[in-house]
Homo-oligomer: A and B are copies of this chain.
Amino acid sequence: MDARQILKDHITKTVELTDAQFDGFYACFKHESFRKGQMLIREGDAVTREYFVLSGCLKTYFMNDELRMTILQFAMPTWWASDYDALYNRHPAAVIVDCVANAEVLSISADDREKICHEIEAIGHFFRWRTNRGYAASQRRLLSLMTNDTKKRYEDLLAQYPTLFQLVPKHLIASYLGVSRETLSRLYHSSR
C-alpha cells in the first residue's frame, strides 16, 4: 500500500475529509527514509517536524548523564513520533528519536500543521484527538508502571506487540519496561 493510502486510512478512522481536503493535507508532508541507527532528532536540536511511521520502527528515548537510556516509546507503523514538548514550545530537543528498523516515514512541520489546522477544521479536530490519545496512552503506561509488577508489564507488552520481540533487541525492551536486561532475560526464560 502506498504512503498516501496509509495516511488516508489512518486519518479517516477519526474524521471525514473530502478528496480536496485530503490532497491539501497530504501536500504538507514530505516522504523520507531512514536506516537502522540513523537519528531523526538529536538531543539539543531545534525540533521543527513530527513523523508518521509508514513502515519499520522508531524509538524515542532519553539519555541521562550516565549515558543510561530510557525509552519512552516505540513507534510502529501508523504511530506518530517527535519531541512534542520541544516542537510545541520551541525548546531544544530533550529526547532523541532514532531508527530501530529501516523505516519509511511522512513528516510534517509544526508550522504547516498549525496552518492546515486553521484551514480545515476536521484536521484540527484530528490533531486534538490524536494528541489526546497520546496523552491517554502515556497515562496508561504510567499506571501500568506504578501498579503492575515487571512480569505483568512484560506479558502485557508481549500480548500487545508480539512482533516487537522479533523486531528489536531485548535490552531495548528491558529499557522500555524499566528493568535491567538481566532481569528481563531471567523473566523471559522462566516463563518458557
Identify the A interface with B (CB < 8 A). 62, 64, 68, 70, 72, 84-85, 88-89, 95, 114, 117-118, 121, 124-125, 127-129, 131-136, 138-143, 145-147, 178
**Which listed residue, B84, B118, B133, B143, touches A132 by the CB 8 Å rule?**
B84
- Return the chain B residue nearest A86 by Cβ: B136
Also in contact, A147 and B70, with CB within 8 A (given A121-B118, A128-B117, A135-B131)? yes
Q: List 11 A-B contacts (CB under 8 A).
A: A62-B143, A72-B142, A84-B135, A88-B133, A88-B136, A117-B124, A131-B135, A135-B138, A138-B139, A145-B145, A145-B146
Copies of this chain, how many?
A: 2
- Rounded to whole Å, the gap between the CB of A118 and the closest CB of chain B is 6
Cα-based distance from A114 to B62 in the complex (angstroms): 34
Contacts of A141 in B (CB 8 A): 142
Which residue of the partner chain B has the closest CB to A145?
B145
- Chain B residue contacts of A62, Cβ below 8 A: 143, 147
A146 touches B70 (CB 8 A): yes
CB distance from A64 to the nearest CB of B (A): 5
Contact B139–A85 (Cβ < 8 Å):
yes
For residue A121, which residues in chain B have a CB less than 8 angstroms away from its CB? Answer: 118
Given A114-B125, A135-B131, the answer on whether A146 and B178 have CB atoms closer than 8 Å is: yes
Residues of B within 8 A of A143 (CB): 62, 70, 72
Residue with the highest number of chain B CB atoms closer than 10 Å, among A64, A114, A134, A139: A139
